[in-house]
Amino acid sequence: MCSGGCAKCLGGTLIPLALFGFLANILLFFPGGKVIDNNDHLSDEVWFFGGILGSGVLMIFPALVFLGLKNNDCCGCCGNESCGKRFAMFTSTIFAVIGFLGAGYSFVTSAISINRGPKCLMDNSTWGYPFQEGDYLNNEGLWSKCHEPVNVVPWNLTLFSILLIVGGIQMLLCVIQVVNGLLGTLCGDCQCCGCCGGDGPV
C-alpha cells in the first residue's frame, strides 16, 4: 500500500480516538455523573480542555487531511509526475506535528491531574486537593478523604486515564504519519513505501 493509503488508515483511526477524548472531557464536567452547583468545585485540569482541544479539535484537522490524501493517489501535477502528491505528503507531516502537539497537551494535562487527584470537599469542610504526589493511586483507603462529589475519585481517575491513553496513542500515530509523510515526499506516493499491511501501489 502506498503512503496515501497508509495515511488514510491512520486518519480513520484518529477520528474515533478524537471523539473518545472529546466525550471523556465532557463527562469530567459532571463529577460522579452528577451536575454540581458550583463550577469552582471542578478540578482545575478539567478547564484546560485537554480532551476537547488537544485530543479533539486539534486532532480532527490532521485526521481529515490524512483521509483526504488517499483521494489523490494518482500521480501527476502540471505534467510533472507525482509532484502534487509529494507536496501533499509533505503538508501532511506539518498537520501530523500539529496533531502530535495537541495530543501531547492532552497527555500532559491528564498525567498532571492523575498525579494531583481530584478537587473535592475535604475533612475540614473546605474544597481542595487532599492527595499528595499520587499517593491515592496505590492506597484506595485514602479515597475517603473526598466527601463530595460522591465517587469523584474513581470518576476522574477513569476519565483522565482514558485521556492519557488516547493522547498516547494519538501521539504515536502522528509520529508514524510524520515518517510516512516524509517517505511519501522522498519516494513519491506511487512508489510503495509500505504500511497497513499492503504490498503494492494503489
* Cβ-contact 72, 202 below 8 angstroms: no
pTM for the whole structure? 0.85
> 88: closest CA among 102, 103, 75, 101?
75
Q: Which three cell numbers stand for residue 194?
A: 509500505
Q: Give the separation between CA 160 and CA 156, rounded to whole angstroms.
A: 6
User: For residue range 121-174, what is the model confidence (pLDDT) as tens digits?
Assistant: 999 999 999 999 899 999 999 999 999 999 999 999 999 999 999 999 999 999
The pLDDT-based confidence of 71 (bands split at 50, 70, 90) is low
User: For residue range 12-39, what is the model confidence (pLDDT) as tens digits?
Assistant: 999 999 999 999 999 999 999 999 999 9
